[in-house]
Amino acid sequence: MIPILRNQAAVEVKQLSKVYGSGATAFTALRDVDMRVEPGEFIMLEGPSGSGKTTLLSILGCVLSPTAGEVRLFGENVSASKDSQLPQLRLSYIGFVFQGHNLVASLSARENVMLVLQLRGWSVRAARQEAEYLLDQVGLPGKADSKPRDLSGGQRQRVAIARALAGGPPLILADEPTAALDAENGLKVTEILRQLAREQGRTVVVVTHDNRIFHLADRILHIEDGRMREAKP
Over the stretch 170-205, which tens digit does the pLDDT of each residue have?
999 999 888 878 888 888 889 989 998 888 889 999
The secondary structure of residue 178, as a DSSP letter, is: T
Over the stretch 125-134, which tens digit does the pLDDT of each residue have?
999 999 999 9
Contacts of 29 (CB under 8 A, 6+ apart): 18, 19, 20, 52, 55, 226
Domains of the chain, with CATH numbers?
A: 11-231 (3.40.50.300)
The total number of residues written for the chain in this structure: 233
**Distance (Å, whole) CA 34 – CA 135:** 36
- Confidence check: pLDDT of 6 > 90: no
Task: Give start and end residues of each alpha helix (H) in 69-213.
Answer: 86-93, 109-119, 124-137, 153-165, 183-200
Sign of CA pseudo-dihedral 157, 159, 162, 167: negative
pLDDT confidence band for 79 (50 / 70 / 90): confident
**Distance (Å, whole) CA 34 – CA 2:** 23
